[in-house]
Amino acid sequence: MFYENSKWKNHKSCGTTSLLPMTPKKPQQWLQVVGHAGSFHVGDYGTLLKRFCEGEQQCYLRLMEDTLKPFVPAYHGVVQRDEQDYNMMDNLLTNFNTPAVMDCKMGSRTYLERELLLAKERPQPRNDMYEKMVAVDPEAPTVQERTQQAVLKTRYMQWRETLSSTTSLGFRIEGFWKSNEECHTNFKRTKSRDQVMAAFNNFVESNTHIVWGYLRRLKELRQVLEESVFFRTHEVVGSSLLFLHDWKGRTGVWMIDFGKTAALPAHLSLDHRTPWVEGNREDGYLWGLDNLIDILSNMLPLT
């Protein structure tokens, strides 16, 4: 977690939205529960700066013209700091008081098909991935992998997904931060519905008002996703839902992280519920959202 408040200059080669029409907002810390340290900085006017990724920039530009616009951070173009480019967007924490934050990685896989293809074309046994595997499950490697003390990236990627609810439910909890500064990130083996429900219950502290708020927002999101042109024409992999609530009972859910989201060929579209088989590009996003809505619904008292 960190706070920064610096002056930013507009990127000269990319169109940006002027900061002048934006209403100044109080500075707000950015809680980075998971992800690469140093990827984010807090800007002025209630903005957040994320290390530049061209693919993510293209997604945000399209999303600003799509029906999904209310469900993603408003995008304000590219800025520079110390010769490093950043995508500038709304800091979603600004309108919350000491918020609790959760990151849920959506979809039935977190790797792109092209990543899988590249790894197959250039198979290179990896010692680092072997070490990661045995650290989680010493029995996971095959006899050959133990002999080599290495695993292929494709094998590691697909094995990793089976550990959590990514494969079984179409989403996984990455981590959450509670308003009392309690941080939880150990969800690599949280797999069953009961385990996920227990984690959510901990996050919302058994507050049914908060659960209702999240449930309403997720149902609205699902309806818009089913109508969205952007969603139908993109493979949405590695994207998260960001959950926010505070002590006043305010709740919000937004789609974030589009660095791996890839546009589909013109002839192809996805329903995001069909099970993935290599080549169909399906990502399981809506299947995961259906399961997430069902789990939250079951956290509410029967009326």
pLDDT greater than 80 at residue 86: yes
Q: What are the tens digits of pLDDT across the range 46-55?
A: 999 999 999 9
Q: Which has more confidence, 43 or 20?
A: 43
pLDDT greater than 90 at residue 142: yes
Q: Which has more confidence, 277 or 45?
A: 277
CA distance linking residue 200 with residue 176, whole number of Å: 9
CA distance linking residue 241 with residue 292, whole number of Å: 11
> Which of 216, 252, 212, 218 has the alpha carbon at shortest distance from 91?
252
pLDDT at site 44: 86
Backbone angles phi, psi at 110, to 5 degrees: -120, 15
Binned at pLDDT 50, 70 and 90, residue 38 comes out as low
> Which residue has tokens 């960001």?
242
pLDDT greater than 80 at residue 179: yes
pLDDT greater than 70 at residue 33: no
Q: What are the tens digits of pLDDT across the range 103-136?
A: 999 999 998 888 888 888 888 899 999 999 999 8
pLDDT at site 303: 61
Binned at pLDDT 50, 70 and 90, residue 144 comes out as very high
pLDDT greater than 50 at residue 3: no
- Given CA atoms 162, 273, 244, 239 in this order, what sign does their dihedral have? positive
Structurally, at CATH architecture level, domain 40-108+170-299 sits in 2-Layer Sandwich (3.30)
Backbone angles phi, psi at 20, to 5 degrees: -60, -40
CA distance linking residue 278 with residue 166, whole number of Å: 17
pTM for this entry? 0.85
pLDDT greater than 50 at residue 6: no
pLDDT greater than 60 at residue 34: no
Q: What are the tens digits of pLDDT across the range 247-300?
A: 999 999 999 999 999 999 999 999 999 999 999 999 999 999 999 999 999 999
pLDDT greater than 70 at residue 56: yes
Give the residue-averaged pLDDT of 15-25.
Answer: 31
**Poorest-pLDDT segment among 13-22, 163-172, 175-184, 207-216:** 13-22
226 exposure class (CB count in 10 Å sphere: 0-12, 13-18, 19+):
middle
Give the residue-averaged pLDDT of 14-42.
Answer: 46
The structure tokens listed for 269 are 């579209």
Q: What are the tens digits of pLDDT across the range 204-240?
A: 999 999 999 999 999 999 999 999 999 999 999 999 9
